[in-house]
Structure 1
Amino acid sequence: MSQGSATRYPLVLVPGMLGFIRLVFYSYWYGIAEALRRDGATVIAVQVSPLHSSEVRGEQLLARIEEILRETGAARVNLIGHSQGALTARYAAAMRPDLVASVTSVAGPNHGSELADHIHTHYPADSAKGRLLAFFLRLIGAVMGLLDTGYRGPKLPVDIHAGHESLTTAGVTLFNQRYPQGLPETWGGHGPEEVNGVRYYSWSGTLQPGKTDRGRNLLDGTNRSCRLFATTFVREAGQCDGMVGRYSSHLGTVIGDAYPLDHFDIVNQSVGLVGKGAEPIRLFVEHAGRLKAAGL
């Protein structure tokens, strides 16, 4: 077995909104954790509240990190967060940098999501449309809870409003004022590589005609959803993955921000039905090698 991904510290995978570890036999990190393990890495996928604020999710993550350190004997962990999982990981690193060796944001809304802004404007929480959307999200969460075979901990709290507000531009701006570690000083730039002993990295994708609308994505309903969601973007119109803007995703060292991947392709969903030329698993394996080379 190769040891190219055998990092010094365990890789902890943190899911985004409505995230999970495994639904029956379907993994959130489809094929990714297995590929990293085959290449020598210690990989742990964690569960936090599927619908809640980044701070609440971050506190849950900190508790899980402490368990992982006790279980593995490791001194620190490498956090890899997808979507809101990136904000969750950033919070944990800001609060306890002594426990975190690195934070990697994968399609993280590090400056907010224009989709969340659109929903905030057109589906306010106190409106009929807002209440219907909240009901729909609760229903999805309940069904996922019934199908969940990857989490055996205590029931996690849900706050749909707090979760949504945590992803708006205004909500993330407040978050960034409190936890600025790794953020670029200029829009579209790189952030500091290291803050308080924690390394920061990011990568993301964009919808690209001829690539992300071809290949196996033709059979993928989530890609069609991302294309619909992308129509709500104004500042980063044509420069988003359907849910997060290209430049909004920047954090620390930007490995890449225009891979031919929609917001779900980037973690190899759905069931690996990704677009033409997309290799999301390779990005994770390469990044594990990058962390290993950095002594992490």
Structure 2
Amino acid sequence: MTRYPIILAHGLGVTDQGGLYTPWGRVPDLLRARGAVVYLGGQDAWGSIETGAAQLARTVRRVLREQGCRRVNIIAHSKGGLEARYLISNMGYGRYIASLSMLSTPNRGSRVAELLLYARPGVALWACGNDAYWSRHGDEKPDSLRAGEQLTPAYLVRFNRDNPDANCVFYQSWGTRIGTVHPDGAMMLTRGLFYPAHGASDGLVTPASARWGLYRGTLDGVSHQQVVDVFRKDAPGFSVKRFYISLARGLAEKGL
């Protein structure tokens, strides 16, 4: 299908084996059934952007070695897109990355992260417990407070300044947005709690924040979790199969 292998890079709070939810659902099998070579990113659930980028770098090196290829495509969800951007721009991996496709990545930050960090009492105590839990369950270097701080709008201003796009990489992005009624209860809760400050969103990230590179559009009626097939079923008006096959086909048509 695609010229180069695909790495699927997950977002915050999960690993490739699970966590708050299990990312990607049917997507790896869908793409492999169409002939794509697919790997999972291998990042921590609650690591910093720097930690996740270093773990992605390890996966990229593995793919290049095992597949005998020169470059890879990365499809990244949420914070995974920031880790991929750091990998490309700060770690000098642009020459190994053919494309970066970002789904609901908070490229300009998330007000939800900001409000949770600075408005809720006890967040430091929670972070300590969360880090201890994930240290026992697979994370190499969990740092919940740092990971949260790196998703705030103020931090992303600096991040964007310090991580300019690489000319050799094709960047594209999609945003998602849910309305006032949606079956994803968790994302409806965060949308409802933070709507006045956050605006219309997928529960965590606004389409305006997700826009980066070539913006392919906003997927309406799709939550932050649904876009990575957490529930392993299609949302009304959104076919997981059609979306990801179209994404991969678009890369292939570009020779990527």
TM-score clears 0.5: yes
Aligned residue in 2 for 1:98: 95
Say if 2:123 is the partner of 1:130.
Answer: yes
Tell me, in whole angstroms, the C-alpha distance in 2 between the residues paired with 1:287 and 1:33. Answer: 13
Preserved contact between residue 48 and residue 60 of structure 1 (Cα < 8 Å): yes
| Match of residue 31, structure 2, among 33, 36, 40 | 36
Equivalent AA in structure 2 for residue 69 of structure 1: L
Aligned residue in 1 for 2:237: 277
Say if 2:150 is the partner of 1:166.
Answer: yes
Q: What SS class does the counterpart of residue 80 from structure 2 fall into?
A: helix
Q: What SS class does the counterpart of residue 218 from structure 2 fall into?
A: strand
| C-alpha RMSD over aligned residues | 2.1
Aligned residue in 1 for 2:178: 207
Tell me, in whole angstroms, the C-alpha distance in 1 between the residues paired with 2:241 and 2:128. Answer: 34
Please, which runs of 5 or more residues in structure 2 have no aligned partner?
none
- Provide the aligned length of Structure 1 versus Structure 2: 252
| Match of residue 59, structure 2, among 40, 60, 64 | 64
Q: Deviations over 1:257-295 (max 9, x none)?
A: 2332100001011343x5322223321111000000000
Q: CA deviation at 1:135?
A: 4.9
Equivalent AA in structure 2 for residue 75 of structure 1: R
| Match of residue 82, structure 1, among 39, 52, 77 | 77
Pairing of 1:204-243 with structure 2 (within 5 A)? 204-209=175-180, 213=182, 217=183, 223-230=184-191, 231-234=193-196, 236-237=198-199, 239-243=200-204
Equivalent AA in structure 1 for residue 25 of structure 2: Y
Q: Deviations over 1:163-200 (max 9, x none)?
A: 1111111121111111132xxxxxxxxxxxxx421000
Tell me, in whole angstroms, the C-alpha distance in 2 between the residues paired with 1:90 and 1:266. Answer: 20
Q: What SS class does the counterpart of residue 247 from structure 1 fall into?
A: helix
Say if 2:247 is the partner of 1:291.
Answer: no
Q: CA deviation at 1:47?
A: 1.1
Structure 1 residues 142 and 96, CA gap change in structure 2 (3 angstroms): closer
Structure 1 residues 156 and 142, CA gap change in structure 2 (3 angstroms): closer
Preserved contact between residue 13 and residue 46 of structure 2 (Cα < 8 Å): yes
Aligned residue in 1 for 2:160: 176
Q: What SS class does the counterpart of residue 54 from structure 2 fall into?
A: helix
Q: What SS class does the counterpart of residue 244 from structure 1 fall into?
A: coil
Pairing of 1:8-19 with structure 2 (within 5 A)? 8-19=3-14
Structure 1 residues 136 and 264, CA gap change in structure 2 (3 angstroms): farther
Preserved contact between residue 114 and residue 234 of structure 1 (Cα < 8 Å): no
Which region of structure 1 is more displaced relative to structure 2, 58-67 or 32-41?
A: 58-67
Aligned residue in 2 for 1:53: 48
Q: What SS class does the counterpart of residue 210 from structure 2 fall into?
A: coil
Equivalent AA in structure 1 for residue 68 of structure 2: G
Q: CA deviation at 1:52?
A: 1.9
Structure 1 residues 247 and 48, CA gap change in structure 2 (3 angstroms): same
Tell me, in whole angstroms, the C-alpha distance in 2 between the residues paired with 1:18 and 1:56. Answer: 14
Structure 1 residues 96 and 240, CA gap change in structure 2 (3 angstroms): same
Equivalent AA in structure 2 for residue 131 of structure 1: A
**TM-score normalised according to structure 1 size:** 0.79
Which region of structure 1 is more displaced relative to structure 2, 239-248 or 274-283?
A: 274-283
> Among the aligned pairs, what percent are the same residue?
27
Q: Deviations over 1:232-252 (max 9, x none)?
A: 144541x20001011100011
Q: CA deviation at 1:36?
A: 0.5
Tell me, in whole angstroms, the C-alpha distance in 1 between the residues paired with 2:130 and 2:162. Answer: 28
Please, which runs of 5 or more residues in structure 1 have no aligned partner?
1-5, 149-154, 182-194, 218-222
4+ runs deviating over 4 angstroms: none
Which region of structure 1 is more displaced relative to structure 2, 57-66 or 8-17?
A: 57-66
